[in-house]
Amino acid sequence: MTKHNESSCENFELRLEDAAEVAAERGESIALSTDLSAHVSTCAHCSESLEAISISRSLLHAGFEPTASPSPFFTKRVMAVIRAEEERQAAQGSIFWSPLQHLAARIAMVSGVVVMVLSAYAYSSSVSSTGVDVSGQNAAAYELVPHQQLDPQPQSKDEVLMSLVERSNVERNNAR
């Protein structure tokens, strides 16, 4: 083989590319003219270029062929690996979080019991301090307004004025 001559090989490389393009369009192998094949057989650089074109063409052609579908056990194996990884991560996470979860549950339960005890105490102390019987019809009203005496509401403006006068008289008598 002869040495690479850049000026003459440049023309032959362009012709090689054109021949490869024509062959790709027709779906045939690369056909070389007699002078091109003579040059490729004598020039190492152009011979390597033709080989590179052939290899890249075969790789591209192989890439367009449909691939075989995965086996039916492929999905099962992948899912088994995923499950195993999730279980491993869950086991590592539960080492740290499990005691904290139990502690939080206990704190929530204790605080619930404390709220119930305090609300029962508050209810019993408010009933005993007012001394009012909360049975019957007034029980619902007493729960809404526990520290006020339950008097019937005045219906007219005159009754409102009369109730204000009565309250002021009661307060004056209590002050003496």
Distances in whole angstroms, Cα of residue 10 to Cα of each of 6, 17, 57: 6, 11, 20
**Tally of structural domains, the chain:** 1
> Mind listing the pLDDT tens digit for each residue in 80-112?
999 999 888 877 766 777 788 889 999 999 999
Mean pLDDT, the chain, rounded, equals 77
As a whole number, mean pLDDT of residues 125-137 equals 59
- Whether 40 maps to a domain, the answer reads yes
Distances in whole angstroms, Cα of residue 76 to Cα of each of 67, 71, 80: 20, 10, 6
- Whether 128 maps to a domain, the answer reads no
Host domain of residue 12:
6-64
* Model pLDDT, residue 7: 66
- Whether 11 maps to a domain, the answer reads yes
- Measured over the CA atoms of residue 107, residue 108, residue 109 and residue 115, the dihedral's sign is positive
As a whole number, mean pLDDT of residues 107-125 equals 93
* Token digits of residue 86: 């999730």
pLDDT at 118 over 80: yes
* Model pLDDT, residue 126: 76
Q: Model's pTM, two decimal places?
A: 0.32
- Whether 25 maps to a domain, the answer reads yes
